[in-house]
Amino acid sequence: MARLEFYNVGVKAIAACVPKHVRSNNQLENLLGSTELEKVIQSIGIREMRQVSKATTPSDLCCAAAERLFLDNSINKDEIDVVLFLSQNGDYKIPATSPAIQHRLGLSTSTACLDLTLACSGYIYALSTAFAYASIPGIKNVLLLVGETFSQIVSERDKVNAPLYGDAGTATLISKGNFGPSIFQLYSDGSGADSIKIEAGGARCPADSENVITKEKEDGNFRSGHQLYMDGLEVFNFTLRVVPKSVKDALAETGESVDSIDFFVFHQANRFMIDFFAKKLKIPTEKVPISLDTFGNVSSATIPLTLVTRLKNELVDSDKKVLMSAFGAGLSWGTAILEMNCPVVSELVEL
């Protein structure tokens, strides 16, 4: 486990953007059948999500969120020192997307830019990276952009993944200031790397004329080598095994308790998992916000999207202590405990 601890650095503002287009899971009746579809919806807790058009990218959603964050906080763009962009679906293989975002947002050419990737646990990892940069002398403001458009990399004929994934982009401003301690605990287990995977398109399995073709796979699912595969049972078992333990460990090591934490924000994978975590850890349901019912699983963007859409009023009223927990491809997972010192939380942007 990697443990990181930061002082006098924190989240100053958060914004999020989702596509205007709503897709209901009821539209999947032809794929799953009405009886099976209702069982799936009841289990995962996702009835609808937002999905982009083919022309919209994660960077588009993130830039819209960033512009709203700048507007609501009267940000001088010359004061942004670092831009971090995390997504599984960057604009191009080369170049990195973050320098293009720097130019698009009108930021100074002295801004450092870096692309990151880690799927569903990515926000915790990327947030720890942002905190690390912001802790360095000479760096005051880090803009963290986290966005996904999984609707573009999931097959509509995949019964496992089609009901799960929505699209969103988020912006988080991390700055020096009067903030209490922030603790991050990060984990990985690459032995499970095959559990969540897009096989084709990288150096190990380059794109070719065969792997771009949609073919029938296991249990009647159809996808190409460039679309997401997930071993649902393997991921489910992994998650139930590691997440409650990592949360308990974080509470024990920091001297916190369920009572002292105001909100537990879990990656919004599915409702059954989140309910299991709450029951296992004896967390009151009012401390566990849910956003997946209307936005689906937006991978690395679920936690900041939940903060914006479900905790906006609670976070701006008074200081809150928030535990965040994310988990997914890699396999990787992480926990963070942050003192949220009344960040500015923008209204949700629709694009």
Report the interhelical angle of 271-281 vs 232-254 (nearest 10°).
30
Which structural domain range is residue 190 located in? Answer: 1-202+211-351
Return the DSSP state at 348. Answer: P
> Given this model, what pLDDT does residue 293 score?
97
Measure the CA–CA gap between 69 and 59, rounded to whole angstroms.
15
For position 318, what pLDDT does the model report? Answer: 84
At 298 the pLDDT is: 98
Per-residue pLDDT tens for 240-275? 999 999 999 999 999 999 999 999 999 999 999 999
Closest CA to 87 of 116, 65, 61: 116
Q: How many domains does the chain have?
A: 1
H helical segments located in the chain: 29-32, 34-44, 58-73, 97-104, 122-134, 232-254, 271-281, 292-295, 302-310, 312-317
Beta-bridge partner residues of 141: 175
Has residue 205 got a pLDDT over 90?
yes
Which pLDDT score, from 0 to 100, does residue 36 have?
Answer: 92
Residue 74: the pLDDT is 94
CB 158 within 8 A of CB 32: no
pLDDT of residue 277: 97
- Say what the pLDDT of residue 116 is: 98
At residue 266's C-alpha, the angle toward residues 261 and 272, to 5°, is 120
Q: How far apart are CA 323 and CA 45, in angstroms?
A: 22
Average pLDDT in the 97-124 region? 97
CATH number of domain containing 274: 3.40.47.10
**How many percent of the chain have pLDDT more than 70?**
100
The predicted model gives 72-101 an average pLDDT of 96
Would you place residue 6 in the very low, low, confident or very high pLDDT band (cuts 50, 70, 90)?
A: very high
The secondary structure element, H or E, covering residue 22 is: strand 22-24
What the block records as the tokens of 177 is 């200031």
The chain-wide mean pLDDT, for the chain, equals 96
Confidence of residue 317 (pLDDT cuts 50, 70, 90): confident
Q: Using one digit for the tens of pLDDT, what is the confidence trace for 57-74?
A: 999 999 999 999 999 999
Q: What pTM does this model have?
A: 0.96
- Please give the torsion angle defined by the CA atoms of residues 251, 129, 314 and 293, in that order, rounded to the nearest 10 degrees: -90
In the block, residue with structure tokens 């997504």:
87
**pLDDT band, residue 218 (cuts 50/70/90):** confident
Residue 220 has pLDDT above 90, yes or no: no
pLDDT tens digits for range 281-299: 999 999 999 999 999 999 9
Per-residue confidence (pLDDT) for residue 89, from 0 to 100: 95
Q: What is the pLDDT of residue 65?
A: 98
Q: What is the dihedral of CA 189, 193, 198, 201, to 10 degrees?
A: 100
Residue 219 has pLDDT above 90, yes or no: no
